[in-house]
């Protein structure tokens, strides 16, 4: 059974309180759906992807969340705000379950918004958070990158930051031929299982140039020192200010650690991965899972028999 990131579970007191969620990218890989809707608002079963991300931050004890939004600011702002008319209608009907579902997003954390005027890159989006974050360490969770609600990656990263200071990034081993889609880390082992020292970073290298098969995924715990470095970081790959380039500078001081993650992670900004996310999370839902899984098994059997793609009527 899937347990959503449980916000009512006690979490250890930590120094990191703030999360930054960049959600201002153009989402070109998901056009035309993302023409008028941010990709972070695409539904994963019945919640927008970004809600899972905020739930994850809240479950790790981060009670202040800054969204960095772009030209589709309204949809994201509205989702994490109250919806009086809707709430009144549901309250009048006595529909407590849906009323909670409508109210939950606004109750997850103290949510703030800032606009990235132009999508100048992830590094630039993080820099937009400087004034809000101040001089405290903070987490960054990419708004289209989902970690399965059953995982505890962010908490582990926050613990590593408490022990080592500096910056902590999340790494996942991928097939060499996939590494050109990610930032890639050169690493050294530490005495801790699953924690590495990051000695170099390169954004989207070719498989031949990649220093390892460790891909950087969308969770970071950063020291505020990163802001000065970002200010000085020139546009890199794709003409964008890359967070990876700023972190590469910080690896020289030995202040970047990596947590190696081998759990379930989904890139909902990628069409195929988005579909896998919806199917996996739907199957794990107690209310939908059993019926949907039965249907899915039947559908797969149809596909295997060659029938599924040509049938006009869907399997019951
Ligand atoms: P992506 O690398 O997925 O880029 O951004 P993108 O532009 O959003 O999408 P595609 O590649 O065109 O389909 C990773 C994360 O960084 C945010 C995105 O919203 C996403 O959460 N981002 C990216 C920004 O907030 N600002 C930017 O300028 C770029």
CATH number, domain at 236?
Answer: 3.90.550.10
Q: How many domains does the chain have?
A: 2
Cβ 11 under 6 angstroms from ligand 1: no
Query: Which residue's CA is the closest to the ligand 1 atom numbered 4?
Result: 25
Query: Which residue's CA is the closest to the ligand 1 atom numbered 6?
Result: 25
Does 4 fall in a domain?
A: no
Atom of ligand 1 nearest to the CA of 124: 28
Asked whether residue 224 falls in the same domain as residue 248, the answer is: yes
Cβ 122 under 6 angstroms from ligand 1: yes
SS (H, E, C) the chain: CCCCCCCCCCCCCCCCCEEEEEECCCCHHHCCCCCCCCHHHCEECCEEHHHHHHHHHHHCCCCEEEEEECCCHHHHHHHCCCCHHHHHHHHHHCCHHHHHHHHHHHHCCEEEEEECCCCCCHHHHHHCCHHHHCCCCEEEECCCEEECCCCCHHHHHHHHHHHHCCEEEEEEECCHHHHHHCEEEEEEECCCCCEEEEEEEEECCCCCCCCCCEEEEEEEEECCHHHHHHHHCCCCHHHCCCHHHHHHHHHCCCCEEEEECCCCEEECCCHHHHHHHHHHHHHHCCCCHHHHHHHHHHHHHHHHCCCCCCCCCCCC
So what's the pLDDT on residue 13? Answer: 65
Does 6 fall in a domain?
A: no
pTM strictly above 0.95: no
pLDDT in tens, the chain (316 residues): 343 454 455 556 678 999 999 999 999 999 999 999 999 999 999 999 999 999 999 999 999 999 999 987 889 999 999 999 999 999 999 999 999 999 999 999 999 999 999 999 999 999 999 999 999 999 999 999 999 988 999 999 999 999 999 999 999 999 999 999 999 999 999 999 999 999 999 989 999 999 999 999 999 999 999 999 999 999 888 889 999 999 999 999 888 999 999 999 999 999 999 999 999 999 999 999 999 999 999 999 999 987 766 555 555 5
Query: Which residue's CA is the closest to the ligand 1 atom numbered 9?
Result: 27
Atom of ligand 1 nearest to the CA of 22: 25
Cβ 23 under 6 angstroms from ligand 1: yes
Atom of ligand 1 nearest to the CA of 143: 21
For residue 101, give its domain range.
Answer: 18-269
Cβ 21 under 6 angstroms from ligand 1: no
């Amino acid at each position: 059974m899937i347990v959503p990131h449980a916000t009512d579970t006690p979490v250890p007191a930590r120094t990191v309180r703030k999360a930054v969620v960049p959600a201002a990218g153009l989402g070109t890989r998901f056009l035309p759906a993302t023409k008028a809707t941010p990709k972070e608002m695409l539904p994963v079963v019945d919640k927008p992807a970004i809600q899972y991300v905020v739930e994850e931050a809240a479950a790790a004890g981060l009670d202040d969340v800054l969204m960095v939004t772009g030209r589709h600011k309204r949809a994201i702002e509205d989702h994490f705000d109250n919806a009086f008319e809707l709430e009144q209608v549901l309250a009048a009907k006595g529909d407590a379950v849906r009323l909670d579902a409508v109210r939950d997003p606004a109750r997850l954390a103290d949510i703030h918004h800032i606009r990235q005027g132009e999508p100048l890159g992830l590094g630039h989006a993080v820099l937009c958070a400087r004034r809000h974050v101040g001089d405290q360490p903070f987490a960054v969770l990419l708004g289209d990158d989902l970690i399965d609600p059953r995982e505890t990656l962010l908490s582990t990263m926050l613990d590593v930051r408490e022990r080592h200071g500096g910056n902590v990034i999340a790494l996942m081993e991928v097939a060499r031929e996939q590494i050109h889609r990610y930032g890639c880390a050169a690493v050294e082992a530490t005495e801790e299982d699953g924690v590495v020292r990051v000695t170099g970073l390169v954004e989207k290298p070719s498989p031949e140039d990649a220093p390892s098969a460790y891909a950087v995924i969308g969770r970071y715990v950063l020291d505020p020192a990163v802001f000065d470095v970002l200010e000085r970081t020139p546009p890199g790959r794709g003409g964008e200010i890359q967070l990876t380039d700023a972190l590469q500078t910080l690896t020289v001081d030995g202040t970047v650690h990596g947590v190696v993650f081998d759990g379930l992670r989904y890139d909902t900004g990628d069409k195929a991965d988005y579909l896998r996310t919806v199917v996996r999370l739907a199957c794990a839902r107690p209310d939908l899972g059993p019926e949907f899984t039965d249907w899915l098994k039947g559908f797969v059997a149809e596909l295997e028999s060659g029938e599924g793609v040509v049938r006009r009527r869907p399997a019951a």
